[in-house]
Structure 1
Amino acid sequence: MTTALPVAGRNALAGRSVVVKVPATTANLGPGFDTLGLALAHYDHLQVEVLDEPGVFVEVHGIGAGEVPTDESNLVVRAIAHTFAAYDIPLPGLKLIAENVIPHGRGMGSSGAAIVSGIMAAKGLLEGIVDIDSDALLVLATEMEGHPDNVAPALFGGLTIAWMTPEGPKHKKLMVHRGVSPLVFVPVHAMSTALARSLQPESVPHEDAVFNLSRSALLIAALIQSPELLLAATEDKLHQSYRAAAMPETNRLITLLREHGFAAVVSGAGPSILVLASDPGQRLVAADLVAEKSETPWQTLMLAVDFKGATVIRTDV
């Protein structure tokens, strides 16, 4: 994947600028642990400009303003630098303006979105100098994220199945049935993905593995063809029960929603709740139920499935 950049190419970076748009994601979807992901129409935006002078200057607006780093340790900057380094290209001076709406630490793929934002920005800045195809994008993003289930839908949109091979990460994108209507309940408190993963056992019973295999297969059918099967298809025995004690209100509301017939699961590592409704009207009933029964504040996001994934546009041409 490494391509040396001629001196003339380095000069070509001067004055380049791009805008990037990346969707939120929700991973696992119940039984599809570390495999299934869905892109949601809730977007972080990024502007990047190449500067004449060295150094990195970062502005963050919206979610994370005043909290996330604004120097070279910023995750978006690190993703840009990672991409440039993969092609043996020195990192130029950069100005970044991030407009963030994806909640941090809530299981909606904020770190994956930041990584994808940086990689897509690098792709746009290097247009005509190196060609970074979709396979390379997924490799770069997975190298930074550690696993592809969040970065694949952020990059490509829709429903994605992601897996690892000896040659690297792979993905398959599927279109979602138009009746599927995602609803996300976002709590005020965050949850560390590392903490959530630490609660996962090293091994699980054979019958639980078989259970999840059947539900994962059913979930694909439910999402692309038969939304009426979503409640049964989102059953899980591999990860949610092990993490329940760390997010009791999330677990309580998921149990309540499922008892009322809603396909509710933990969104990613949590603590947000994803409801995969079979029609838009069903979401209103679920939202009313949570508003009535919740013991802590929750933000309600009624979202569409994003089918396009991350985009980058050159703004200097």
Structure 2
Amino acid sequence: MTRGSAPAGVTPTVDGRRVLVKVPATSANLGPGFDTLGIALSLYDELTVTAVQGGPRTVDVHVTGVGAGEVATDESNLVVRAIDYAFEQLGQPLPSLRLEASNAIPHGRGLGSSAAAIVSGIMAAKGLLDGIVDVDSSTLLRLATELEGHPDNVAPALFGGLTIAWTTSEGPSHKRLLVHRGVSPVVFVPETTLSTKLARSLQPASVPHEDATFNVSRSALLVAALIQSPELLLAATEDRLHQSYRASAMPETDALIRMLRDAGLAAVVSGAGPSLLVLGSDPAQRLFASSLVAEHSVTEWRALMLAVDLKGATVVPHPVETASLTDS
């Protein structure tokens, strides 16, 4: 009998199942690829989800690391909402849940924390429903995009690497690409946060045709630079669609990006900001960028020298003693 199967005549249930989920941070836009390009990074939120047996439905959430004492620990928790949404969309009854989250992805800083939470919940639902409902990659992307609103962060969080995401009348789609091994990311994270909603509100409803054409060319070049020619990253990360409009909301981010680019480094706003991402063409550029930020920054910035995550989100079953499920 395979995992999740049940004897003939017995309805399979998720009760008593436990899964371990791991989801990477992401950086979207990458300069010119607004709402389209994203990359997965080796910084992770980890989650253990147990479907508790018996009784009326309950939700028990414990958070350590980033967000501890701040994020909701009831049914309004974003991970719980994502699990519930997936179960409902897949036509399954909602189980009682125990969540233990260990978070490392900074919140409100342009590294895909909300996408990671949503993907964590969707992947947890997939794992809990293993053998009951088949959840393929297109369904994962659709469910996550419906909750997040756009696929540029959830696609790399789900699938890893560099992703190109787009939406048609049939729903979201993606293409995953392997990043050249010479590409060396470093993220600089400030103490301050920025709301994605606020960042988006600063953009105009339309842009000049010349700027749109500029970004189309740079986006195409950026794909080539990331998968084949890292030496082109500086030119490929130029942008005229969103970063300048958002600069007033994160003046130090903007100043540091201008300084780094003047020094020949491919620096961009990470997602909606205020973190900034430098896509080095070799590891030495990361050290150079770190020294420049340390020298020129006014406030404290944390440098995260990361790799490109190649796996994306993972979920694995974890056996659990039945007796432990009822312990408080």
Aligned to 1:96: 99
- Write out per-residue CA displacement over residues 98-149 of structure 1, whole angstroms, 9 at most, x where no aligned residue: 0000000000000000000000000000000000000000000000000000
- For 1:23, the aligned partner's letter is P
Aligned to 2:126: 123
Is structure 2 residue 182 aligned with structure 1 residue 169?
no
Offset, 1:12: 2.5
| Cα distance in 1, alignment partners of residues 272 and 303 from structure 2 | 18
- Write out per-residue CA displacement over residues 68-105 of structure 1, whole angstroms, 9 at most, x where no aligned residue: 00000000000000000011111111100000000000
| Cα distance in 2, alignment partners of residues 7 and 40 from structure 1 | 45
Aligned to 2:211: 208
| Cα distance in 2, alignment partners of residues 316 and 130 from structure 1 | 20
Identity of aligned residues (%): 71
Match of 2:219, SS state, is: helix
After superposition, where does 1:59-98 map in structure 2 within 5 Å? 59-98=62-101
Aligned to 1:308: 311
Offset, 1:7: 9.5
Match of 2:108, SS state, is: coil
Aligned to 2:26: 25
Aligned to 2:263: 260
- Write out per-residue CA displacement over residues 160-194 of structure 1, whole angstroms, 9 at most, x where no aligned residue: 00000000000000000000000000000000000
| Cα distance in 2, alignment partners of residues 50 and 116 from structure 1 | 18
- Write out per-residue CA displacement over residues 33-57 of structure 1, whole angstroms, 9 at most, x where no aligned residue: 0000000010000000011232100
Runs (4+) off by over 4 Å: none
Is structure 2 residue 201 aligned with structure 1 residue 198?
yes
Residues 1:7 and 1:113: Cα distance change in structure 2 (over 3 Å): farther
Computed over aligned residues only, the root mean square deviation of the Cα atoms, in angstroms, reads: 1.1
- For 1:89, the aligned partner's letter is Q
- For 1:285, the aligned partner's letter is F
Match of 2:27, SS state, is: strand
TM (norm. structure 2) is: 0.93
- For 1:182, the aligned partner's letter is P
Aligned to 1:234: 237
- For 1:119, the aligned partner's letter is I
Match of 1:115, SS state, is: helix
- Write out per-residue CA displacement over residues 227-272 of structure 1, whole angstroms, 9 at most, x where no aligned residue: 0000000000000000000100000000000000000000000000
Offset, 1:281: 1.2
Q: What is the aligned counterpart of 2:181 among 167, 173, 178? A: 178
Aligned to 2:14: 13
- For 1:212, the aligned partner's letter is N
Aligned to 1:146: 149
| Cα distance in 2, alignment partners of residues 25 and 188 from structure 1 | 18
TM (norm. structure 1) is: 0.97
Offset, 1:283: 0.4
Aligned to 1:299: 302
| Cα distance in 1, alignment partners of residues 217 and 205 from structure 2 | 21
| Cα distance in 1, alignment partners of residues 264 and 121 from structure 2 | 40
Match of 1:170, SS state, is: strand
| Cα distance in 2, alignment partners of residues 208 and 13 from structure 1 | 51
| Cα distance in 1, alignment partners of residues 94 and 303 from structure 2 | 40
| Cα distance in 2, alignment partners of residues 263 and 87 from structure 1 | 42
| Cα distance in 2, alignment partners of residues 118 and 280 from structure 1 | 34
Structure 2 runs not aligned, ≥5 long? 1-7, 321-328
Is structure 2 residue 36 aligned with structure 1 residue 35?
yes
Is structure 2 residue 224 aligned with structure 1 residue 250?
no
Offset, 1:282: 1.0
| Cα distance in 2, alignment partners of residues 186 and 178 from structure 1 | 24
- Write out per-residue CA displacement over residues 14-35 of structure 1, whole angstroms, 9 at most, x where no aligned residue: 2100000000000000000000
Match of 2:100, SS state, is: strand
Match of 1:186, SS state, is: strand
Residues 1:283 and 1:312: Cα distance change in structure 2 (over 3 Å): same
- For 1:107, the aligned partner's letter is G
Query: How many residues end up aligned between the 2 structures?
Result: 311
Aligned to 2:323: none
Structure 1 runs not aligned, ≥5 long? 1-5
- For 1:94, the aligned partner's letter is L
